[in-house]
Amino acid sequence: MRRMTGIFGPLGLALILVGSVTYGILHGSGFLSVLPLLLGFAFSVAALFFRDRTAGGRRQRRLEMHAWMSIALFLGLLVFLQTIATRHDRRFDTTANRRFSLAPQTRAILAGLEKDVAVNLFFKDTSPVRRVLEDLVREYAAASTRLTWRFVDPDRDPVAARRYGVGDVETIVVESGERDAHITETSEEALTNAILKVVRPGRKTVCFTTGHGEKSIDDEAPDGYSELGLALAGEGYDARELLLATADGVPDSCEMLVIAGPSVDLFPREEALVDGYLDGGGKVLMLLEPMTSIPRLCLIAYRHGIEVRDDMVIDRFGKLLAGNYLTPVVNTYGDHAITRPIRELSFFPQARSVLPADPAPEGVEAIVLCKTAQGAYSESDLDSLMAGQTRFDPEHDAAGPVAIAAVASRDVPPGDAAGAPLRRRMRLVVFGDADFAMNANVKTSAHRDLILNTIGWLAEQEDLISIRPRDPLLQPVVLSDREGRVVFWIPVVAVPLAVAGMAAFVSIRRRRSA
């Protein structure tokens, strides 16, 4: 028996160790997963029970009992913590850009779901992206009880794949009621846009004016607006161009009018059309570049509560953060639905100042949307600026902070026509720059949220006003001149010189010692 007692102890300990590992791997396999653990505990108890009963043996047994009680207490604590963690699953994202968290816009859309949404993910069991995607849809399901999800392996369930029209390409099918959307991208932005597509009853149309040198939503060049057009399509808008010169008016199908970076002014007839559209409760977004002669557009904006000045904003912070004085940096936003979620800086390459008209037209409510820091000013002497000279003139220039965007709104009396809405509200937003939304800049900092939030507010889609999912690979680092010099000199010059110096020192020492 003494020999058996000597075997039971080590054997029990070994089974407990093996059982801990097998339980971690096969914890879902029922009784078999805990069998080694149970045997290990049984052998350990038997070893204690049959231990030598002499005085020395009893003392040894008490010590072992204390050790086993400590182990049992520790294991009990682990089980307790595991139970708490299982019942109250919480995740904490400590990354700087909240990479593993849903964007605020996604959460807002999920919280506002009024219909059930099913997400069918057609991915093979061996797909390398399946685990990452599973984590993502779990976050979606945790944010809304109306969303359900499931993975379908097309090889194991070809009937389901055929019913949803899924081929060999890995596809996500989002469905709600009789509507569905197929996407092949696995990003949060693509999935959220697919949910929007199936839960929204219709698509609103955003009309971009043409004929005056405006930015085009079909232009894929760095200064084009094709990225904005794609972003609008993703959020459920139909973006199209409108030649205002040949139109009888702004069509009723246009939810809003966007005048993006015109290089020439409107014709008088077009001026009357846009003016009348706003008087009737229309929604207009103007993105106006500096150093362009557009008096009719400026007059339209002024009549409806926003003054557009003929100047250029100079900002010394632009030199530090963007490399030149002509790119004002906005670090202060107005208390408005458009800008309330935004916390990041914005950059406006070559901007003119825009501010609420004083006095404001009757019934108009206007506020500043974006403004620079105190160190900026608006240069009104554009001829000197073109000659490369600028200096703040207190008699003619406006001191900072300088407003670069403003918003105005006004209630419009109901129309006489049958079926006319009881109450409409004119909405006008003017930016003193159009370049911040072009392809080369729209994904920088808060630009995309700023322009899409503006369009969402104009279209009365307030649930789309938020911070959108970000591309995890697009993390631009903005350095000052000094930081840039440090980044260059240390790794490119200082470190190689230090290594070469150490090598020379070692070589000299070896020659002397030889």
Residues of the chain with pLDDT under 50: 417
Distance, CA of 249 to CA of 277 (rounded, Å): 8
Give residue for tokens 């077009």: 270
**What's the rounded Cα separation, in Å, for the pair 27 and 33?**
6
Q: Alpha-carbon distance 74 to 247, whole Å?
A: 79
Is the dihedral angle over the CA atoms 158, 164, 170, 173 positive or is it negative? negative
Cα angle 44, 47, 50; round to 5: 150
Q: How far is it between the farthest Cα atoms of the chain? A: 113
Give the residue among 255, 209, 194, 392 at the shortest CA–CA distance from 312: 392
Quick one: 270 exposed, middle or buried, by C-beta within 10 A (0-12, 13-18, 19+)? buried
Q: How far is CA 59 from the centre of its chain?
A: 65
| Contact predicate 238/205, CB 8 Å | yes
In this predicted structure, what is the pLDDT of residue 370? 94
Specify the pLDDT at position 479: 59
Task: Give the C-alpha separation, 377 to 433, whole Å.
Answer: 16
- Tokens 């700023």, residue located: 450
What is the Cα–Cα distance from 348 to 328, expressed in whole angstroms? Answer: 6
At residue 206, the pLDDT reads: 95
In the prediction, which pLDDT does 94 show?
66
Cβ pair 291, 349 in contact under 8 A: no
In the three-class reduction of DSSP (H, G, I as helix; E, B as strand; rest coil), residue 285 is classed as strand
188 neighbors 97 (Cβ within 8 angstroms): no
Nearest to 436 by CA among 370, 316, 312, 349: 349
Residue 255 CB coordination number (10 Å): 19
Annotate 384-433 with three-state secondary structure.
HHHCCCCCCCCCCCEECCCEEEEEEEEEECCCCCCCCCCCEEEEEEEECC
> Average pLDDT of the chain?
84
Distances (CA, A) of 97 to 176, 450, 474: 31, 18, 11
* Residue 192: its H or E element: helix 188-199
Q: DSSP letter for 493, please.
A: I
- DSSP letters of 49-113? HTS--SHHHHHHHHHHHHHHHHHHHHHHHHHHHHHHHHHS------STT-TTS--HHHHHHHHT-
DSSP letters spanning 308-374? E-S-EEE-HHHHHHTSSTTS-EEEEE-SSTTTTT--S-EE-SS---EEE-SSPPTT-EEEEEEEE-T
Place of tokens 């002024």: 302
Contact of 228 with 237, CB cutoff 8 Å: no
**pTM flag (> 0.75):** no
**247 contact partners, CB below 8 Å, separation of at least 6:** 273
Tokens of 349: 């390459």
**CA–CA dist 415, 252 (Å, integer):** 14
CA 441 – CA 429 distance, rounded (Å): 20
> Residues 402, 348: contact at Cβ < 8 Å?
no
The CA angle 182-187-193, to the nearest 5 degrees, is 55
Residue found under tokens 């149309």: 205
